[in-house]
Amino acid sequence: MAAAPVFAVVGHPNKGKSSVVATLSQNDGIAIALEPGTTKKRQDYPLSIDGQVLYTLVDTPGFQRPRRVLEWLEAHSASVSDRADTVRAFVTQFADNPQFVDECELLAPLTEGAGVIYVVDGSIPYSPQHEAEMTILRWTGRPSLALINSIGPDDHSDVWERALGQFFQVVRRFDAVRAPFEHHLGLLKTFGQLEPDWEQPLNEATRHLSEQRQQRKRETAILIANTLENMMSYRAKRTLTKTQAAAISDQALGDELRNQWYRNQRQKEEQLRIAIEQLYQHNRIQRQEPELVWHSEHDLFSERSRTAWGVNRRYLATAGFGAGAMGGIGIDAATLGYSLGAGALIGGIVGAAGSYFYGDRLSLPVLSTGILNNGLKTASFGPVQDSQFGYVVFGRAVNHWWHISQRNHAGRELLDLGPADDHWLELLDRQSRRVIHQVFERCRKNRSVDEKTRQNFRSAVAAAMDAFDQWRLNQI
């Protein structure tokens, strides 16, 4: 395989170079600041998948004295044919000169064979002062691409586009913070067309990145499914001796186990958030989300949470019929089919009725205590008694995944996870609804989930993620 391409991201100070590098290298650890001069030295950021480097981005300081540099180049060049050599000579001669340290840092990777990604801020007016920079970059003779990365609210991209077209092979508008994943791949494909030696490795890179994105989605579905099953079925337990049982009231024991149960649910949800963020290489994200504080307007069991992330009666009736029918099949099997499907029908009706009348409230688990046996007493709190609990946690989890999967690594703003305005599960196919509801019901009834059902559940979660993605697209 040909060597992995290297791209030097260059331009004027404070025009979004580091943001472009962070997004294209999937690295949220790159320093991004508003003040000029954040990048002092060139820094290489390879993008790797399974140990294989697909390409490398080089973050560079901004131009400081481009006109002085161009004057030197023009004075020492004899013809057009020696311009690249003249740039190389400049870097060699002034490498240790503090007056041109930034220019040498940004030009060095170009003299070593890197391609040019020139970044400008399309929110500020075009100025001829940038032409010295663009002329120097053209002198390097390297494959070049210009990106218009608008940082502020104004838009002068049209003028920039016409000016940049005079100097660069390709000009693209690219919002480093908000550009969708497809735009990343488009840039790689474009560069492959500019340099024949890069076409094959960059085609491989786009394939690997697309596969990685699908794999991350599959792994997220497994993480969400496993967490839901764990949270729905969890019971806080305690075994007490006769002396301990006599020393604590049922009220105090219930409060203790209830708080233990609450802490577990908060912890499991937070662990899920972190696992998804790390899967997508967002390791420094700042997140804001209504905490699962009990007995408040943001309480997981509150009417507000149920309305935002739960499901309505009609949905529960439909899903409940499917889940009940699945359970009723056991009746048919036990009667060797002589019930003529009555078991499935009865199970479906009972499941639908139970879900319908049960679905307008979000009830807490209950405390269970066992009688003294061999000098020991057992007590437990859970599992959760309401399938709506699963839908609320599910909705919050998928919403978080969607924002993480769409977030570029240049983003530094607070991730604010608000509730949905409409329920997206209405877009989910009926079979997936039934599988999800069946698992929720089994968990709340303290019944085990077999491996086949668990696999179907993971597939249904993945389908729900697709439904949420479609729902979000419809909102745009």
Chain segment 189-245, per-residue pLDDT in tens: 999 999 999 999 999 999 999 999 999 999 999 999 999 999 999 999 998 888 888
148 — pLDDT class (breaks 50, 70, 90): very high
pTM of the full structure: 0.84
Instruction: Give tens-digit pLDDT for 380-402.
Output: 888 988 788 888 889 889 999 99
316 — pLDDT class (breaks 50, 70, 90): low
Domains (range + CATH), the chain: 6-194 (3.40.50.300), 216-475 (no CATH)
Mean pLDDT across the chain: 84
Check if the beta carbon of residue 69 is closer than 8 Å to that of residue 47.
no
Please report the pLDDT score of residue 310 as a whole number: 56
Return d(Cα 311, Cα 38) in angstroms, integer: 48
Please report the pLDDT score of residue 38 as a whole number: 55
